[in-house]
Amino acid sequence: MLRKSILVLALFSVFGPALAQKKAKSPKNIILMIGDGMGVSQIYAGMVTNHGQLNLEKFPVVGFHKNQASNNFVTDSAAGAMAFSCGVKTYNGAIGVDANGEAVPSILEIAEEKGLATGIVATCSITHATPASFISHQASRSLDENIALDFLNTDIDVFIGGGRKFFGNRTDGLNLIDSLKNRSYQIANTIGEVQQIKSGKLAAFLAEEQQAKFSEGRGDELVKSTETALNILQTNKKGMFLMIEGSQIDWGGHANSYAFGLKSLFHLDW
C-alpha cells in the first residue's frame, strides 16, 4: 500500500515579545498530530470539500516529509511512524526498533525522562502501528499483546483509544487492566467516563479492538478525548508531549471511500 502521511507538528508556548527577538525560548509543550494515510491528495480533497480551507493551513510553517522503509521504497504505517517517533529508518512492520532489530528511544520516552507529562490519543486500537511506535519496542506490529505489555514499562500519563481485548482478554491469561489500576491509572470505557476524569493517570479503552467509524456512531470522540488529555497533561509545570492520531483516514483509502476518508480528515482538523 502506498502510505502517505503528513505530519502536523504544533509547538505551543507562551512566547509573547520573544517572538520578535533573535533567540526565542524553547517551547514548553509539544503536540504532534498525525493523519494516517493523509497525503497531499487527501488534503486537497478536504480543502475543496470544505469550501477551500482547512485549519491545518493556519500553521505558520508547512513542510513535507519524505520517507521510505529500510527494506522497501514504500513504507507501511509502522515504518512511517518510526520516522516520526524515533527518527530512524527501519523495515516495514517494525515497532520501536531499527533495521537491525535494536530498540530505539522514542520522543515520548525522552520526554518522560525529562519529566514532561506524556499522552497518546488515537481513533484505532492503542496497540496499532502509529501509537505503538511511540511507546513499544517489538519486532512486528502484529504483536498486539506484547505491545500492550510494553505500556506497563513506561510512565505514560494518558492514553485513549481502542484495544481493550489486548489488555483484559489476553491469550496468556494476564489482566493488564488490573495491573494498570494497581499503578494508579483510572480506567474509562466510554467517552462519557473519559470526560469525567480531570486529573491523575488515565487509561481509556473505547473499543474492544478498533474504534467505530463515523457511520457506526463514533461522533466527536477524538475531540473530547483530546480535550481531556490536554486538561490533564497541562498540569505538569515542565510541559507535555501529546501525540494525536487521526487513524481512520487511512482506512478510507483502503476502502476506496472518498466520504470515509474525508470525514476522518475533518475530524482530525477540528
Q: Which residues are annotated as a binding site for Zn(2+)?
A: 36, 250, 254
Q: Which of 5, 77, 106, 136 is catalytic?
A: 77
Under 8 Å between Cβ of 80 and 94? no
Long-range contact pairs involving 140-148 (C-beta distance under 8 Å, separation at least 24): 140/93, 140/94, 140/95, 141/76, 141/77, 141/78, 141/93, 141/94, 141/95, 142/93, 143/95, 145/170, 145/171, 145/172, 147/95, 148/176
136 is known as an active-site residue: no
Q: What are phi and psi of 122, to 5 degrees?
A: -145, 160
* Rounded Cα–Cα distance for residues 79 and 267 (Å): 24
Cell of 162: 481502542
How far apart are the C-alpha atoms of 236 and 238, rounded to whole Å? 5
Enter the C-alpha cell of residue 218. Answer: 463514533
Spatial contact of 82 and 133, defined as CB atoms under 8 Å apart: yes
Query: How many Å separate Cα 46 from the centre of its chain?
Result: 21
Q: Which residues contact 71 (CB under 8 A, 6 or more apart)?
A: 91, 92, 99
6-12/29-35 β-pairing: antiparallel
Residues making up the binding site for Mg(2+): 36, 128, 130, 245
- For residue 118, the one-letter residue type is T
Residue carrying C-alpha cell 505491545: 147
* Residue ranges of the binding site: 36, 128, 130, 245, 250, 254
Positions marked catalytic: 77
